[in-house]
Amino acid sequence: PIAENVSAQVLQVAKDYSHILFAADSFGKAASPRVAAKLDVAQISEIIKVVSEDTFKRPIYAGAAIATVKSLDPVKVLTVRVTAFDPVGQEGTASIEKIEAVLGTSKVVFLGAEKVESNRPELQSAKIVIAGGRGLANEAEFAEMEQLADKLKAAVGTTRAVVDAGMAPNDWQIGQTGKIIAPELYIGLGISGAIQHIAGIKDAKVIVAVNKDPEAPIFDVADYGLVADAMDVIRQLQTKL
């Protein structure tokens, strides 16, 4: 769906609701500002906790601080960081209503979508994530990390710097401008821990960091840290598994 059309559809029924929520993914971030602007209300982005019907918590400064925000607007338009909330069952009793479709815009046309096929778990839903940084020197070393990930049935991630260098695809990127993840186990190999990347992994249950620089910032958030060369560790784990 096109964000312009979905926002128009939402606005058709918005007057009947006090809260309008979108997931804080690329699509929600495209559609929600349009809804908020048309309703002339402030949007509250990436909430991680509901305090009350008009008060919410959200990260600021790339997750370095948590702001408590209260909205006095009659309609609350929110994007939700889904990794901050535990999944719930599907036994709810909410009713589903059909509404009339609005006429779509002619200014934006959907041309197509390219889906990346992978046998690995999806990055944002995986229980184990292995991520490689600039400590891995080239695509061949990333390929060795991928082999380790496959043995652990893990998803593969990386940092923006690695993506920008062309050593990994965009859909691997974790961080403030990538994907926010919350796996049971995150293993960072050769990742220094820029604040933008840390913002994407802070919700992981266990964080393991491997870096040969003992001063690397990622050790400040890691549950377990190992000062070592990332490739040495990858190859030793390969022989053990």
CATH number of domain containing 36: 3.40.50.620
The sheet carrying 206-210 orders its strands as: 155-158, 128-132, 185-189, 206-210, 224-226
Are residues 196 and 136 part of one domain?
yes
Q: Is residue 113 part of a domain?
A: no
Q: Is residue 109 part of a domain?
A: no
The pLDDT value given to residue 103: 85
Among residues 84, 104, 139, which one ends one of the domains? 84
Are residues 226 and 149 part of one domain?
yes
Are residues 159 and 59 part of one domain?
no
Among residues 25, 53, 84, which one ends one of the domains? 84
The count of structural domains within the chain is: 2
Q: What sign results for the dihedral spanned by CA atoms 90, 86, 81, 222?
A: negative
Q: Is residue 197 part of a domain?
A: yes
The pLDDT value given to residue 95: 85
Instruction: Provide the CATH number for the domain around residue 138.
Output: 3.40.50.1220
Q: Is residue 111 part of a domain?
A: no
Are residues 153 and 52 part of one domain?
no
Are residues 138 and 41 part of one domain?
no
The pLDDT value given to residue 112: 87
Cα–Cα distance measured from residue 207 to residue 124, given in angstroms and rounded to the nearest whole number: 15
Mean pLDDT by 10 residues, the chain (241 residues): 90 93 92 96 95 96 90 96 84 85 85 81 93 93 94 95 91 91 96 93 95 96 96 95 88
The whole model's pTM is what? 0.79
Q: Is residue 203 part of a domain?
A: yes
Expressed in percent and rounded to 5, the helix, strand and coil fractions of the chain are 30, 25, 45
Q: Is residue 94 part of a domain?
A: no
Are residues 154 and 61 part of one domain?
no
Q: Is residue 98 part of a domain?
A: no
Are residues 80 and 25 part of one domain?
yes
Who contacts 152 (Cβ-Cβ below 8 Å, separation ≥6)?
A: 128, 130, 241
Q: Is residue 71 part of a domain?
A: yes
| Cα atoms in the Cβ-side hemisphere of radius 13 Å centred on 150 | 8
Are residues 73 and 152 part of one domain?
no
Cα–Cα distance measured from residue 218 to residue 186, given in angstroms and rounded to the nearest whole number: 12
The pLDDT value given to residue 14: 93
The pLDDT value given to residue 33: 96
SS3 58: strand
Q: Which domain does 198 fall in, by range?
A: 128-240
The pLDDT value given to residue 96: 86
Among residues 28, 60, 84, which one ends one of the domains? 84
Are residues 135 and 73 part of one domain?
no
Are residues 137 and 231 part of one domain?
yes
| Cα atoms in the Cβ-side hemisphere of radius 13 Å centred on 83 | 23
